[in-house]
Amino acid sequence: MAKSETHNSYLDMVDHPAHVKKLTLKQLEQLAKELRVELIEGLAQNGGHLGPNLGVVELTVAMHRVFETPKDKFVWDVSHQSYVHKLLTGRKDRFRTIRTTDGLNGFSLRTESEHDCYGAGHAGTALSAALGMAAARDQRGGDENVVCVFGDAALTNGCSFEALNNIAHTTNKFIGILNDNEWSIAKNVGAISNYLNKLITNPSYNKIAHDLQHFLEKIPTGKLAVRLGLKGQEAIKGTVTQVALKHNEDTLDADGRGGFGSSLIFEEFGIRYLGPIDGHDLPLLIETLEFAKSCEQPIVLHVITKKGKGFNAALKHPEKFHGTGPYNPKSGESAPGKPGTPPKYQDVFGGTMVKLCRKDKSVVGITAAMPSGTGLKALEEAVPKQYYDVGIAEEHAVLFAAGMATMGFRPVCAIYSTFLQR
């Protein structure tokens, strides 16, 4: 039993995901609180991907409430955010061994549990893998659900778009969940990140949607439409789009393009879109997932979550707590290092890059969404004009560097070796 639990802990009652289905909604909400406590306390000694997992607690609980693993397949992009899934699938007693020798793996691992259908370690690969599973299911006439959870950062990766381009042509039964927390490890960059932010913050859309929501609540079945998040898509999309398009004729962006009036990118790929919805509203998540489960065409749910939710230190420092070392579970302060510990390699590299760039303006540093891990964060802060973050796109980073080199520049492209796996 985990230290944070008592004899009547709901987490203590869950030894298999089927047990999640037996809990009432109120009990599930309490379970979510207990899961956050276990994450915060359980990772304090050895560290781990705390922030991402705190953000998907309600989503993971809702997934296990609606679907049935291992029959149904959960594919997690990267899979660093699958800790709650591990806690709910018979591994809670070993949870505090995570990322230690002979302990639980920090990612999904097929050999660790029948509930882990796919192993990963890098962003952008889940949609393709999940689509392959869906195609195999269709070939043999199966009826299991394939649910792919991918982050907004995965949409800075070309592989994700290759999969999106193929989904509607391959299967009629596919559920994607876009876990939008505006972060990968570092803050997301690029046009796709800006697109998603505009979608959920556009004042034209939100004003019309808010007014129409009140109207829907006054008519039969309207409240259900609102609860299902249909104010974001199904119930009012047509009306909001037409009104917003008209409104946007007079309120174009500086580049001449409208805000919400632009087509939803997923629907351009032939995929039904639903959202954005609150990723911490458990009843809403359950109802929406039930709707997606019954959908007879590929669908993507756009879920808005808060990375680090429930732990102030992680909310204040999302990059640090994306993947953290040991820390104080109450204050969030990092455990003190050993006296005489030499500087980290990435810190030496980052400092050297700053010196080189100041000395030679043809030297530039390039990272693929890993400024802190590679040490190039120091370059971003000191010499920003000679720093590039291209997002989670290693293949693009290398070719981008090659292009700069042909023009006489001296690019230094810093990439984690494990992120070259694709």
Cite the active site residues.
Answer: 307, 394, 422
| Phi, psi angle pair for 154, to nearest 5° | -65, -20
- Cα distance from N-terminal residue to C-terminal residue, the chain: 39
CA dihedral 148, 235, 284, 227 (to 10 degrees): -170
What is the rounded distance in angstroms from the CA atom of residue 103 to the CA atom of residue 98? Answer: 5
Instruction: Please give the distance of CA 191 from its chain centroid, rounded to a whole number.
Output: 17
Please tell me the distance from the alpha carbon of residue 152 to that of residue 301, in angstroms, as a whole number.
Answer: 12
d(CA 304, CA 9): 28
Question: How many CB atoms lie under 10 A from the CB of residue 130?
Answer: 28
Q: Is 132 helix (H, G, I), strand (E, B) or coil?
A: helix
| Run of H or E including 203 | helix 203-216
Q: What are phi and psi of 74, to 5 degrees?
A: -105, 120
208 conformational bin, left if phi > 0, alpha if psi -120 to 50, beta if neither: alpha
For residue 80, the 8-state DSSP code is: T
d(CA 46, CA 229): 39
For residue 329, give the 3-state DSSP assignment: coil
Q: Which residues of 270-306 are buried (b: 16+ CB within 10 A; e: fewer)?
A: ebbbbbbbbbbbbebbbbbbebbeeeeebbbbbbbbb
Q: Please check whether residue 369 is in contact with residue 391, taking contact to mean a CB–CB distance below 8 angstroms.
A: yes
